[in-house]
Amino acid sequence: MSQHLLSISDLTKLSALHILDTAANLAKATETMIKKLPTLRGRTIVNLFFEDSTRTRISFEAAAKRLSADVINFSAKGSSLSKGESLKDTAITLQAMGADGVVIRHPASGAPKRLADQKWMSGSVINAGDGTHEHPTQALLDAFTIRERLLGGEGDLRGMRIAIVGDILHSRVARSNILLLKMLGADVTLIAPATLLPVNINNWGVDVSFDFDKEISSFDVVMMLRVQRERMVESFFPSEREYARNYGLNSERLSKLKEKALVMHPGPMNRGLEISADAADSIHSVIPEQVKNGVLVRMAVLYLLLSGEQL
Amino acid sequence: MSTIMSESDITRALRRIAHEILERNNGAKSLVLLGIPTRGATLARRLANLIGDLEGEACSLGTLDTTLYRDDLRLQSPRSLLPTEIPKEGITDRNIVLVDDVLYSGRTIRAALDALSEFGRPKTVQLAVLVDRGHRELPIRADFVGKNLPTSRNERVMVKVVEIDGVDDVSIEGSKIEGNK
């Protein structure tokens, strides 16, 4: 694995599976009693959040703390960042503080790459979501959850039929998931209104459908995406009611799913819009498990990036 | 490369260790064998089978990965983690026998002792190894040894087991002269 985790395209199939296997072994090592491992004692990890987040920041914080690293939380609100400090000066500050790893979330696509490429600081950079680009640890935890639930926790995802439904255009989760799920051998189908699909979607090597009902009973996993109202400056669909009717996961669609199909959502959910309350709380739903697995996968990533000598 | 132990040597050594473990612990009750992956876990399974045959009841068996507790993580590129499986009855108040293939610096065993203390408080912790090659860097010794093998630091001791490597043997590689101080 390289020094940073900026995009799923930094990984090979082998290194992606290595992360999942590491997470699985961490699960075994921590399930009985241990809540804290001494592995990253003395290392400092900075959570640098330029955009609101609850679960990702908390998840990274929990992961770092379970490995005994020191965690510094740095959010845009209430720091010099809101006074207009540049990314460069922030990075130089972090370097001076001796950060071994920086977990960054930023509204601009590519900000983590800039931080990693510019050599302002020597630590590892982990992308925790940049604009509409990528969110690699979310894709890894989704793949981990699918593998644990449907494939006995081993190997790749060959043969899995996975639907990603909703706001693909604004979704970094979708971009990372498409790259990773395809790399691991799954069949990916995107389901969305045409206005919420990127223009060059035909080059992505995935199936595209505008009709959620047509093949719904053939999917092993239905991954619902949040409608990202905060990124929508124009109207992408006529009304929320119409969106919910055509692309929301409601109880009628829920009843058509395969018996063992999983319902996933990266959170936060808009209950009643892309997912109905009974779908979110049904036996198909693995949404709380995704959160739990998120900590394990992030522990694995931190372990693999920060435990050894950087070469 | 020269072979130090053949398949039958290994079998005989393990049989003797199984008897010694039973003698020391007055039977297999309250005994838990924990193998250190990968080869140690295989040897622990074999010892558990031997003890089961001798005592007529299965002996508690698990694996313990020490990677997360090592003190040399910073000195090398990240190591792969291996499975840890603690028997569900736990380790508290039980007699634990750690099983590994080669005892060398003692650092793996130190890490294993740290890892163990996270899972409970054993009554005793003992150590069984197939080969003790010396050069300890910590005050740690084995309770049950298959073979004491004086080596130089330049040599490499390789344990192969049929379950993983397709063959059972212990061999030694590298020059003896260079390492002699």
From A29, A305, A309, residue closest to B68, measured CB to CB: A29
Predicted TM-score (pTM) of the model is: 0.88
**pLDDT tens digits for range A70-116:** 999 888 776 777 677 788 998 898 888 889 999 999 999 999 999 99
Domains recognised in chain B with CATH numbers: 2-69+82-173 (3.40.50.2020)
Is 0.85 exceeded by the ipTM? no
Regions of chain B short of the pLDDT cut 70: 175-181
CA-wise closest residue to B104 among B160, B145, B65: B145
What residues make up the domain containing A21?
Answer: 8-134+292-306
Q: Do A56 and A35 have their domain in common?
A: yes
Does the pLDDT of residue A2 top 90, yes or no?
no
CA pseudo-torsion sign A284, A285, A286, A290: positive
Tell the residue number behind the tokens 């950060």, with chain if given. A99
Q: Residue A3 domain-assigned?
A: no
Residue in chain B lying closest to A37 (CA): B68
Q: Do A92 and A154 have their domain in common?
A: no
Q: Do A89 and A185 have their domain in common?
A: no
CA-wise closest residue to B168 among B2, B42, B7, B5: B7
Are the beta carbons of A134 and A175 closer than 8 angstroms? yes
Q: Residue A81 domain-assigned?
A: yes
The whole-angstrom separation of Cα A169 and Cα A149 is 28
Helix (H, G, I), strand (E, B) or coil at A82: helix
Q: Do A167 and A238 have their domain in common?
A: yes
Are the beta carbons of A164 and A190 closer than 8 angstroms? yes
CATH of the domain at A225: 3.40.50.1370
From A29, A303, A308, residue closest to B74, measured CB to CB: A308
Structure tokens at A151: 């494939």
- Based on the structure, what is the number of domains in chain A? 2
**pLDDT tens digits for range A184-241:** 999 999 999 999 999 989 889 999 999 999 999 999 999 999 998 787 767 888 888 9
Q: Do A32 and A159 have their domain in common?
A: no
CA-wise closest residue to B129 among B27, B43, B20, B21: B43
- Check CB contact of A78 with chain B, cutoff 8 Å: no
Does the pLDDT of residue A167 top 50, yes or no?
yes
The whole-angstrom separation of Cα A229 and Cα A176 is 20
pLDDT at B72: 87
Q: Which of B84, B89, B91 is the best residue to mutate to test the A interface, defined by the most A CB atoms within 10 Å of its own CB?
A: B84
Q: Residue A87 domain-assigned?
A: yes
Q: Residue A2 domain-assigned?
A: no
